[in-house]
Amino acid sequence: MNQENLLVGLAGVLAAAAPIIFAVLGETFSERAGVINLSMNGTILLSAMGGFAVAYNTDSILLGFLAGMLIGALVALVVAFASITLKQSQVAVGFVLALTCRDLAYFLGNPYMGQAGPRLQALPIPVLSDIPIIGSLFFRQEAITYISFIAIYLAWLWIFRTRPGLMLQGIGEKPAAAFIRGANVNLMRYVYTVIGGALIGLAGPTYSLAIRAGWMGTISGLDGIGWIALSITIFGGWNPSRAAFGAYLFALLQWLGLVLQPVLTQVPSQVLQVAPFPLMILTLLLVNIGNAEWVERALAAMPETTRKFLSKLLRAMRASPPAALGVPFERD
């Protein structure tokens, strides 16, 4: 593989990670506030279909993206209403929506199957795109990919460097304390779940109007991405920069699967395409195992130097969810 092909491939990885980044950031906001939005897999499919349908009928790509965000926000609103106001299980409602929205996308998307529609064009940035290597990697992308770069930074800035972001951390960790400090916990949960849902809804049109333009129904290859994004949210430890790292890693692995196909001929291609999934479980295990009780006991029995090394390693990988994740908040 020559250098040019490599650069094109890696630039493709950055683009392919963009929708996953939107989804993971959206889920991170929602879960930071204490609400698990398990509907993600269905939301992405429905917003991909809806975004494409709107862009196809109006010939406006912008309206397509907005429609996707609106769909994501509405689905998230159902999750928020059912879990915050009606106090039903977030997992149950989210799971049902994940399946229902997927089937709804297939049902309503039937007339749009295989239609040629508008798609986003690459938008090279003047001057910057001429820088060797860096230019072709970062600055010859589609507009939505640039937005994904900016979104990672803004999300990180919001959560860790602003006052409302500090409050957001509070309502996910210690809602009672945040309430005493004047936060309207349930209203904030609604707001962040809906905003997070809009971000998740942005992922759909990023597929159907940019990186995999069009709507192909069940063979779109989008079914399953939402579940991956959920695991990446955990891998990311509810931190936008680490979550983005996870998204890029996943996109890189999928690309490597494609590239290695001609080399590893004895492995069926269908297996290489799903190779990142087992790796995801492994990373989830590494992220979580530091929280397990028996690990602490096992560590305590080890010699000093091994213990120090291992516990440092585990702590570096470890991530704990917001303490009040999935727990309804009541005023008294």
Partner 1 sequence: MLKGRLSGFVFQLLAFVLALVFVSLILIAAKASPMEAYKNMITGSVGSMRKFAEVLVTFVPLLLVTAGLLITFSAGLWNIGVEGQIVLGAIGTAWVFRQFVDSTLPAGLIITLAIFGGMAFGALWASFAGALKTFGGVNEIFGGLGLNFVSTALTLYLIFGPWKREGVASMSGTEPFPDHFSLPQLPDLRISLWALGIALVGVVIVYFILQGTYFGLKLKAVGKNFRAAYLLGIPTWQYSMYSFLICGALAGAAGAIQVAAVYHRLIPSISSGYGYLGLMVAMLINYQAVWAIPVALFFAALNIGSIQLPIVMKLDSSLAGVLQGVLVLFVLLMEGVRQKFVKKA
Burial of 174 (0-12, 13-18, 19+ CB in 10 A): middle
Q: Which stretch binds partner 1 (CB under 8 A): 11-19, 63-71, 95-103, 162-170?
A: 95-103
String marking each residue 232-271 x if it binds partner 1 according to CB under 8 A: --x-------------------------------xxx-xx
Of 61 and 97, CB closest to partner 1: 97
The secondary structure of 230-275 as a DSSP string is: HHHHHHTTT-HHHHHHHHHHHHHHHHHHHHHTTT-TTS-HHHHHHT
In the list 7, 96, 123, 256, the residue contacting partner 1 (rule: CB under 8 A) is 96
* Tokens 């799971």 belong to residue: 95
Nearer to partner 1, 11 or 53 (CB): 53
Nearer to partner 1, 46 or 61 (CB): 46
What the block records as the tokens of 67 is: 């429609």
Residues composing the chain: 332
Site string for partner 1, 179-218 (x = CB under 8 A): --------------------------------------x-
Q: Is 92 in the site for partner 1 (CB under 8 A)?
A: yes
Instruction: Kindly identify the residues of this chain, within the stretch 58-87, that bind partner 1 according to CB under 8 A.
Output: 78, 81-82, 85-87
Query: What residues from 19 to 38 belong to the interface with partner 1 (CB under 8 A)?
Result: 38
Among positions 6, 8, 108, 302, the unique one binding partner 1 when judged by CB under 8 A: 108
Task: Name 122's bridge partners.
Answer: 142
DSSP string, 273-284: HHTHHHHHHHHH
* Residues contacting partner 1: total by CB under 8 A: 50
How far apart are alpha carbons 13 and 7 in whole angstroms? 10
Does residue number 6 form part of the binding site for partner 1 (CB under 8 A)?
no
- Tell me how far apart the 2 most distant CA atoms of the chain are, in Å: 68
Rg of the chain on CA atoms, in Å: 21
**Closest by alpha carbon to 63, among 71, 73, 52, 55?**
55
Q: Which residues bind partner 1 (CB under 8 A)?
A: 38, 78, 81-82, 85-89, 91-93, 95-97, 99-100, 102-104, 106-110, 217, 224, 227, 230-231, 234, 266-268, 270-271, 274-275, 277-278, 280-281, 284-285, 288-292, 294
